[in-house]
Structure 1
């Protein structure tokens, strides 16, 4: 019997954990797979090992693991594969398939553009955009954010756009925000490239609120329904099943 194990990042903030679980419950309702479980890489429960065990207890004979990660970096390349390698030793007869992170997709960029317009209906070409990523020591992150900048710039018609990060790489968020404020005569629209609430998003929200009405922060990406469809597509691609159920 097929099973899907969703793997979220996890957070110390209960609100963020609940958002992730609610988001994934919506995804699971769109997927016609008999066994589906939720797990987290760190900070939240159940763990990947616990989620996998639940799949097995429910009769899983093969497990597809779907990371709820926006981009491919250390967690995707190292941490999750290492966890699964350990689990495979305990369950050698159960095939494990690891799906990819979301990556830079046109429908995600479309969703971001819509979130910006929802928050700033009077957006003009004189406004500036600041994309805020989680950050990673993986060098590919900068390449990915260059693609994201270009895609959002094309969709919104705004020339002044840059990226910054909350951890692990430069430029740091607070430096990026100050630089953008110094260089921008009009409003700065802050785009958190994050899925759910958490301590990182709280840091962004607090900094934006302190800067007053010139800085407008949009909602995290999971607020757009298109993100659920992204996960459904990744989870079911290549699987022989009646994958997508009607809403």
Structure 2
């Protein structure tokens, strides 16, 4: 069968010169994200997260205290970690004890990595910048990080001089005075110890 030639209006298909095609972005090949390898995407995600000014996806927080032979003291850190996780919304938050109790900093670090962390923020639950903050915790953290190449970490400042601590200390003082005056039960810190008494 003979197919007759077809004619179209000249304005239906606009013409482009070679120079126009070379510069017009409509003719540029699309840059699909699929052209990046998985490892390249992962590296980009890590760098963009690590350059952020706060805790982000892929970050983990370890809250580390001294550790105690007294079980109740160690359990209190677990309760604080739950409070911290709930209030901040951070996905990976783990407790650790510098010594005398488990989990250790190394255990907590490993748990964070197993949950997908690629940056670990170690926050000392200490008041002042003593030897534990300047020597012991950094040393234990470095040892833990050796087991996980490619995972970065930072040891942050201790609680130190923070205005909010004034409110915390004042609240403790006033609550204990109410307790010895018979106006309040023992707080959760002193409960069952019989230590919150007015000595004569």
Q: Same fold (TM over 0.5)?
A: yes
Q: Distance between the aligned counterparts of 1:63 and 1:37, measured in 2?
A: 10
Q: Which residue number in structure 2 is paired with residue 75 of structure 1? A: 132
User: TM-score, normalization: structure 1?
Assistant: 0.49
Separation in structure 2 between the aligned mates of residue 40 and residue 27 of structure 1, nearest angstrom: 16
Helix, strand or coil: the match of 2:64?
strand
Secondary structure of 1:120's counterpart equals: helix
Pairing 1:86–2:143 present: yes
Which residues in structure 2 correspond to 1:111-130 (within 5 Å)?
111-120=168-177
How much has 1:56 moved relative to structure 2?
A: 0.8
Aligned to 1:29: 86
Q: Larger radius of gyration, structure 1 or 2?
A: 2
Aligned partner of 2:123 in structure 1 is: 66
Q: Say whether residues 1:109 and 2:166 are aligned partners.
A: yes
Deviations 1:175-218 (A, max 9, x none): xxxxxxxxxxxxxxxxxxxxx67xxxx7xx4xx86xx643xxxx
State the secondary structure of the residue aligned to 1:30: helix
> What is the aligned-residue RMSD (CA, Å)?
2.2
Aligned residues: 131
- 1:8 aligns to what? 65
What is the aligned counterpart of 1:95 among 131, 149, 152? 152
Farther off after superposition, 63-72 or 111-120: 111-120
Contact 2:67 2:74 in 1 (8 A): yes
Contact 2:85/2:91 (8 A) holds in 1: no
1:35-61 superposed Cα distances (whole Å, 9 cap, x missing partner): 221111111111100010011111111
Deviations 1:87-139 (A, max 9, x none): 23222311101111000222212221232222225xxxxxxxxxxxxxxxxxx
Q: Distance in 2 between matches of 1:38 and 1:114?
A: 25
Unaligned ranges ≥5, structure 2: 1-57, 179-188
Show structure 1 runs of 4+ deviating over 6 A.
none
